[in-house]
């Protein structure tokens, strides 16, 4: 295996990470390898056995500089002064075919100094879930970390029960989190904070010239990202500040889920008791997280009072920036060109009808392009009234816009759970069938992919998801 590593994170101040090697696993076997992504990264892979050896951590490839990154974060609003990669290791970085620097990280590679009480391992379930959902997100056109490989191990991982172990290799624009800034601000470590700032600007925002510029740029990316999630009925589930990528990618897929039936209050995560990270709260949480980011940037500013004033002004732009991004996303889903603020009512009224009738989010939008829209709704007169208003806004381009904006397939929870159950029983065929379907979300359905467009039948719906780390 040849991976053209070109590592830079290890050149940052030494207190920002710990160098260590992965802990070996027993009997690694390959579940999936993303050959197209590997090709983008310039990786020359060997056979399956060799891929499994490298992407389980059993063999560290030449040029890798494995390290665990330090960070902190607000978890469900509570400050945790020290987190860090507790079960992950950055193997190193490569420059992809587009000239973009990408991290290659093992997840489930053994304990690190930041593991706290955790075992440093992952079990098969979250590995398959992250592989499917992150690759679906990419295919849906949403910024996200990617999945490069999934490897099964012969080790048992102890959670509520004994479960099969696995290692995921993921690829990210970087693993710099809001929490990575927070830890050095909280510790008063200006050396690390300034180095991280310079590194982040050089790597992600080369046009930025000061911390205000960085805050503005990150705000724009987060607003655009959350708007895309909203347009897909996606609920991240753990929008803690340590799970917010400064590069604006979806990261740390835990108890995440796509809604079947639309309701704005939907929560899946079993640990999200109060619905802090409910579907409709996500924009508000993004502002909260950006405020923590702004706070962490203050020590970089010469005058604290001026910084607070300036950053507050920037944070206050979020609602306009987000509203614009959201309108663009949903207007496209309705096939509208030149959407204006007046179209917000058309968007919101459709969502209200969906919520009232318990309509399927994905299939209702997809049905706009067909003659089956009425099948999704109960209140036919209300639907017809809305439809009349909507049709009056359509143009020649509407069908084409809708086809690119309304997926037929999202990774539905009941399918994810079925894939995991089969995987635990040793059968990876359902995983591969689902991966094939969710990575072609806008394509016409085929006999192979059509089952994955089906919402859960009664009794099949999954209402709770677990971190299951
Ligand atoms: P998450 O909620 O998955 O984003 O993880 C929050 C923190 O817990 C991070 O610092 C993780 O590295 C750590 N963590 C989660 N699961 C484990 C585990 N099995 N072993 C060690 N650390 C873990
Ligand atoms: Mg995390």
Q: d(Cα 35, Cα 468) in Å, to the nearest integer?
A: 28
83 lines ligand 1 (CB under 6 A): yes
Q: Are 170 and 105 in contact (CB under 8 A)?
A: yes
DSSP code per residue over 45-96:
---HHHHHHHTTTSSPPTT---EEEP--EEETTEEES----SSEEEEEEEE-
Pocket test for ligand 1, best of 67, 87, 113, 179 (most atoms within 8 A of CB): 87
Examine the residue annotation and report whether 342 is marked as an active-site residue of this protein.
Answer: no
Q: Please report where in the chains the tokens 């069908």 appear, as a residue.
A: 399
In this prediction, residue 387 carries a pLDDT of 98
In this prediction, residue 432 carries a pLDDT of 98
* Closest Cα to atom 22 of ligand 1: 86
In a domain, 80, yes or no: yes
Q: Are 249 and 144 in contact (CB under 8 A)?
A: yes
In a domain, 315, yes or no: no
Cα four-point dihedral sign 236, 252, 202, 82: positive
Mean pLDDT by runs of 10 across the 469 residues of the chain is 98 98 98 98 97 98 98 98 98 98 98 97 98 98 99 96 97 99 98 99 98 99 98 98 98 96 96 96 98 98 98 98 98 95 96 98 98 97 98 97 98 98 98 98 98 94 79
Q: Both tokens of residue 134?
A: 């992150």
In this prediction, residue 122 carries a pLDDT of 98
108 lines ligand 1 (CB under 6 A): no
Pocket test for ligand 1, best of 76, 105, 118 (most atoms within 8 A of CB): 118
Domain of 98, in residue numbers: 9-172
pTM above 0.85, yes or no: yes
In this prediction, residue 465 carries a pLDDT of 85
**Closest-CA residue to 408 (of 444, 358, 359):** 444
In a domain, 200, yes or no: no
Q: Are 296 and 289 in contact (CB under 8 A)?
A: no
In a domain, 364, yes or no: no
In a domain, 141, yes or no: yes
In this prediction, residue 464 carries a pLDDT of 86
84 lines ligand 1 (CB under 6 A): yes
Distance of CA 60 to the CA centre of its chain: 27
Q: Where are the beta strands (DSSP E) in 244-372?
A: 257-258
Atom of ligand 1 nearest to the CA of 254: 3
Q: Are 368 and 270 in contact (CB under 8 A)?
A: no
Q: Are 250 and 133 in contact (CB under 8 A)?
A: no
In this prediction, residue 468 carries a pLDDT of 62
- How many domains are there within the chain? 1
**Closest-CA residue to 292 (of 144, 76, 14, 87):** 76
In a domain, 108, yes or no: yes
In a domain, 40, yes or no: yes
In a domain, 383, yes or no: no
Q: How far is the CA of 364 from the centre of ligand 1 (A)?
A: 36
Strand duo 162-172 + 122-123: pairing: antiparallel
Q: d(Cα 439, Cα 140) in Å, to the nearest integer?
A: 8
* Closest Cα to atom 13 of ligand 1: 86
Atom of ligand 1 nearest to the CA of 238: 2
């Amino acid at each position: 295996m040849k991976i053209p590593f070109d590592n830079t994170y290890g050149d940052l101040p030494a207190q920002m990470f710990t160098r260590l090697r992965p802990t070996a696993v027993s009997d690694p076997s390959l579940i999936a390898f993303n050959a197209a992504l590997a090709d983008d990264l310039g990786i020359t892979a060997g056979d399956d056995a060799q891929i499994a050896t490298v992407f389980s951590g059993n063999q560290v490839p030449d040029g890798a500089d494995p390290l665990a990154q330090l960070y902190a974060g607000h978890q469900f609003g509570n400050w945790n002064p020290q987190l860090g990669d507790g079960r992950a290791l950055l193997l190193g970085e490569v420059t992809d075919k587009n000239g973009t620097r990408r991290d290659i990280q093992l997840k489930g590679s053994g304990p690190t100094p930041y593991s706290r009480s955790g075992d440093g391992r992952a079990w098969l379930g979250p590995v398959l879930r992250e592989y499917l959902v992150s690759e679906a997100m990419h295919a849906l056109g949403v910024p996200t970390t990617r999945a490069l490989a999934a490897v099964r191990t012969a080790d048992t991982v102890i959670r509520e029960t004994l479960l099969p172990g696995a290692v995921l290799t993921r690829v990210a624009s970087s693993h710099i989190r809001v929490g990575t800034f927070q830890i050095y601000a909280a510790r008063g470590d200006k050396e690390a904070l300034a180095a991280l700032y310079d590194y982040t600007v050089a790597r992600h925002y080369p046009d930025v010239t000061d911390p205000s510029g960085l805050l503005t740029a990150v705000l724009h990316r987060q607003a655009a990202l959350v708007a895309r999630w909203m347009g897909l009925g996606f609920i991240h589930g753990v929008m803690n500040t340590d799970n917010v990528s400064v590069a604006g990618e979806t990261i740390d897929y835990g108890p995440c889920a796509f809604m079947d039936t639309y309701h704005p209050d939907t929560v899946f995560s079993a640990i999200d008791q109060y619905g802090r990270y409910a579907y409709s709260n996500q924009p508000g949480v993004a502002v909260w997280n950006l405020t923590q980011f702004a706070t962490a940037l203050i020590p970089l500013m010469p005058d604290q009072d001026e910084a607070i004033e300036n950053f507050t002004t920037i944070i206050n732009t979020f609602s306009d920036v987000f509203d614009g991004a959201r309108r663009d996303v949903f207007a496209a889903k309705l096939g509208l060109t030149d959407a204006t603020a007046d179209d917000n009512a058309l968007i919101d009224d459709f969502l209200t009808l969906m919520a009232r009738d318990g309509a399927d989010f994905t299939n209702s939008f997809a049905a706009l392009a067909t003659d089956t829209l009425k099948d999704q709704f109960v209140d036919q007169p209300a639907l017809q009234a809305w439809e009349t208003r909507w049709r009056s806004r359509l143009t020649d381009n509407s069908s084409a816009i809708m086809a690119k904006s309304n997926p037929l397939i999202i990774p539905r929870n009941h399918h994810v759970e079925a894939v995991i159950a089969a995987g635990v029983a040793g059968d990876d065929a359902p995983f591969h069938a689902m991966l094939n379907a969710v990575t072609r979300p806008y394509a016409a359905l085929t006999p192979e992919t059509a089952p994955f467009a089906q919402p859960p039948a009664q009794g099949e719906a999954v209402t709770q998801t677990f971190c299951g780390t």
